[in-house]
Structure formats: C-alpha cells, structure tokens
Amino acid sequence: MKPLLTAAPIDYMIMATYFAFMLIIGFVVSRHTKTSEDFFLSGRRIPAWVTGLAFISANLGAVEVLGMAASGSEYGMMTAHFYWVGAIPAMVFLGIFMMPFYYGSKVRSVPEYLQKRYNEPTRFINAITFAISTIVLSGVNMYAMGLVFHDLIGWNITLSIILSAGIVLIYTALGGLTSSIYNEVLQFFLIVLGLTPLIIIGLIAAHGWSALQNHVPHALLVTSTAKKPVYMNAAQWHSFFHTWAGTATVHGNPMHITWPGIVLGLGFVLSFGYWCTDFLVVQRALAANDMNAARRTPLIAAIPKTLFPFLVILPGLLALPLIKGLGTPNNPTLSYNNALPLLMAHYYPAGMLGLGLTALLASFMSGMAGNVTAFNTVFTYDLYSSYIKPDMPDEHYLKIGRLVTVVGVIVSVVTAFLAAGAPSIMDYMQTVFGFVNAPLLATFLFGMFWKRTTPWGGFWGLIAGMLAALTHYLLTIDHVLHFSTDQSGNFWRAFVAFAVGAIVTYLVSLVTQPLPDEKMRGLVYQLTPKPESDSHLSWWRRPVVLGVLILIFALVVNILFW
C-alpha cells in the first residue's frame, strides 16, 4: 500500500531530536540509580506535580490517543464516558481513600499489598496475571505504532517496532522508573503540543462546532463492530453529540448500551478496577516524596484528564466529515483506527507534521515504557525475590531488574506481532481489563474496607471472578449471549466478573478464619491511622478539597454534553 504522505527532512529531524532527548534523560538519571528502590520506585523522592503528569502520561498509550479518536468516530461524544465517568471518580477515590493504604504500608507493588492483606497464593495469582497482561498491552502499543507509521510514511513495521523497543529499553534499563517518569512528563507536553493545532485547524475546516453537527452524515456508517453496514436511526444520530441522551434503551445511542451498563460496568467496575488497582499507574504515585504528594498524584492527573476528551475524541468527530469515506468496510486505510493519522496527513504541513508524528511516537512509547517498568517491578519483587531467590543482596535485585527489563522488551516485541489480529485497539484493551482488573476490584474493596474478609475469601473470590469473566467471554463468542457492540459486552462482562468475585469473597470469608487485627494494621480502613490534618496547607495541596473541585467540574461537563 502506498504511504499516505511523505515526511520532509525537518520532520525526521524533529523525531530524531525527541529520540535523543529520551536517551539523554536515561543516561543522566542512571547516575543517581544506585539501589533497587531507586530503580523500581525512584527512591520515593519525586515531587507531586511530576508524578501527577507521569501518572496521566503512563496512560497515554495507543488506547488513549488512537483508540479514543477511533471511538470518537464510531460512538461520538459517548466516548467521553471513558473520562468523565470511567476515570475521574476513580482517580479521586484513589487519591483520597486508597493511597493512604498503598503509601502508608510502604508496599513496593500492588501484589505485595495483596500478600500482606491476604496470602501468598493471592499475591502469586495477581502477579502472574498482571505480568502477562502488561506485556500483552505493551505489545499492542508497539504494533499499533508500527502499523500507523507504515501506513503514514511507509516505515517497515518490523523495523519500527525494533527501533522504538530499543530506545525504550535503553532509557528504562539505565534509569528505571525515574527515567520513565521524566520521559513521560516530556511525552505529556509533546502530545498536547502535537494534537492541539490539529483540533484548531479541524474546527476551522469544519466551520465550527455547530456546523460539525450538521455536516456529519445522518447515515453514519458503523463498521468496527458489525459484519455489514449499519445505519444510525434518528435517536442514535441525536445522541452522537451527547453523552447520556438515548441511553434509556440500547437502540437509542451509537454504543448500544443503557445507562446501567455505563454506570455499573464502566463507571464502577472497569474504572475503579483500573485506576485503583492497576500497578502501572499506582507505581507513579508510590514514587512521590511523601504521603500528601502521593495522595495528590492522581488528583493532579485528573485535572488534564477531564479536558482530554477535547484533545483525543474531537479528532475522531472531525474526521467524519473531513476524511471522505472514513469507516468504509474492507478498507484498512479508512478504518476508524486511522482517524487521527489521516487528519494529520491531510492538514499538517512539513514541520508541523513532524511534531504530530512525534506526539504519536510519544504516546506509543509512553504506553510501552509504563508497562515495561511495571512489569520489571512486579516480576522482580513479587515473583523472583519471593519464589526464586529470596534474601539476596540489594545489588542482585538491581541487576535482575535491568535484566528483566531486557526480557520484558523482547517479549513485548513478540506479542506485538500477536496483536496484529486485534480488530479494534479499544475493544482489545477493555477485554483484557475485564479479565484482570474487574475481579481484582472486588478483592481490594473487601480487603480494604471489611476487616472480616479472610485470606482464602480474597483468593477464591479473585479466582471466581476471573473464571466468570472467561465464561462470559466464551458464551459471547459462541453467541449464547448477544450484545450489539463489543464495548457493551465488555462493560457487562466486567460487572459480572466483579459481582461473582464479590459474592464468593463474602461467602468464603464467612466460613474461614480472618487474620488477627495486629496483622491488618495499615491495611484495613478500620485499623489504619487516618492521615494527619492538612488544614494548615494551601487549598490546592489538600487532597479532599482538590477531589471535590474535580468532581464538580466533571459533573458540569457531563451536564453540558448531556
């Protein structure tokens, strides 16, 4: 297939400069990486504003940038639910309620918390599933990057994957989490600078928001989840530029899901399961320099997160009238996943195109680096040092961490090509989260807020939730259960996995022996000292005040796009 555009020398210069900065950061940070805690947790000395931007940037992978733009073309403003319902409340909850458990107990990873609160088998199951899922998701980011740059400027897919993997490998192996965090801050600003001009240019080309609503064809073609063309009815068309309108029935909105599915599946289970228990993001908060900074980390991240729908979803909406034929069946170039790259190809001149391509590179490599650093920490702390070689000198674990980084990158390259069969980036990622994070949420909530929860209650609840997700998935692909879209199936699968896990955790806990109180201090809400009063701090440094203001803002934008 002929590339969509030809990059100018200045475009390659911009991308090369970005690569150079990433490597320089890795070499500089490596001088201060002396211990395993420096490598895996940045010595717990990073300021809140840095960990906050890294927290949000670690989530700015392929699913965020390409996937959300694609969903914007397919589902319209309903995609904003992934932010205003599926992220903000959970991020606020993490900062106010859950970080005191994580940071206060001085755990080095999420599986380690499970070991302290429950037992070794629970830790082992979570560590294994998390390690596998992070490598799989890292591969998704890499393959998406290789495919996009092949379609855009003709890069060889294999060469693209190996080049990006090599650069990520160098700076993460050198500086560990600190190197990854500071690169993620750089990537955050690159992504914002690279995509903002596209929004402005696209709105001008579409003659403004009101004209955009009129120009998007009424017979909008939905292809990513259908085997044949499906045209929107009047109700679905009306709700395309709204978030909640039409969610009373599955036929009233383009996502084909009702509001209970959005609230329970996405807003509760998938959202809280990811943002509150996924070590990929929690690790950034654990690197903060004190408890207050750790609590403010997800809250600082929630501020730009609330605004991101306008940065990553709007290009998908703009692409519908501006890119002729977008969504045409059996045409990979015009697939919804290419909505954002196609806009760049159409509207960015030389130089500006280099900035846009660098923003895409930053998003892909940010997602990969975040997964790799989380993988090497969990593998080293929760698998290697626990089951293979415990009680070794700290220098040994530092060497193993760097070695595991190499292994993680190599395996990610392999899984990148396995991800080639994924029909939709967003659907693929949500399916993985439904298997891993949804059952884990029940285990965490019961463990943190009900001290009667027993070690075996948590273990069997986690196993039951994962089996429920697998059963639901198999029934779906065998067409025993029917859903209008993959996303609606993902939402309900997550809720089923959580519900089954919660019920089993509760029932098993009633008939098994709980831990004594002295072993649960700092791990259970009733037995954890409350954070010290922060009334002497400025309002913007108080987690509760910040959290309330963020929730109010999220409510306002929900109402504006109702």
Tell me which residue of 234, 254, 232 sits closest to 244, measured CA to CA: 254
pLDDT at 63: 63
What does 333-344 look like in DSSP terms, one character per residue?
Answer: GGSGGGHHHHHH
Residue showing tokens 């703009």: 318
Low-confidence ranges of the chain (pLDDT < 70): 1, 4, 61-63, 217-239, 418-430, 483-487
- Residue 154's SS3 state is coil
Burial of 133 (0-12, 13-18, 19+ CB in 10 A): buried
- Residue 221's SS3 state is strand
Sequence letter at residue 464: A
Residue showing tokens 């009900």: 450
Sequence letter at residue 102: Y
230's enclosing H/E stretch is: strand 230-231
Read off φ and ψ for residue 157, nearest 5 degrees: -60, -45
Distance of CA 42 to the CA centre of its chain: 21
CB 377 within 8 A of CB 109: yes
pLDDT at 429: 64
CB 288 within 8 A of CB 46: yes
Whole-angstrom CA distances from 97 to 102, 276, 291, 543, 550 are: 10, 10, 12, 10, 15
pLDDT at 139: 79
CA–CA separation, 284 and 34 (whole Å):
19
Tell me which residue of 430, 433, 434, 438 sits closest to 501, measured CA to CA: 438
- Residue 182's SS3 state is helix
Would residue 390 be called left, alpha or beta, if left means φ above 0 and alpha means ψ between -120 and 50 degrees? beta
Q: End-to-end CA distance of the chain: give it in Å, rounded.
A: 42
CB 430 within 8 A of CB 487: yes
Sequence letter at residue 75: Y
pLDDT at 363: 79
pLDDT at 490: 79
pLDDT at 420: 59
CA angle 171, 15, 68 (to 5 degrees): 85
pLDDT at 57: 86
Tell me which residue of 462, 503, 364 sits closest to 119, measured CA to CA: 462
pLDDT at 238: 60
pLDDT at 229: 42
CB 231 within 8 A of CB 254: no
Burial of 198 (0-12, 13-18, 19+ CB in 10 A): buried
CB 202 within 8 A of CB 343: yes
Residue showing tokens 């030809």: 6
pLDDT at 90: 94
Domain ranges of the chain: 41-560
Read off φ and ψ for residue 142, nearest 5 degrees: -70, -45
pLDDT at 545: 92
CB 178 within 8 A of CB 38: yes
CA angle 267, 270, 275 (to 5 degrees): 95
pLDDT at 300: 95
pLDDT at 419: 61
Looking at the domain 41-560, which fold is it?
Sodium/glucose cotransporter (1.20.1730)
pLDDT at 540: 82
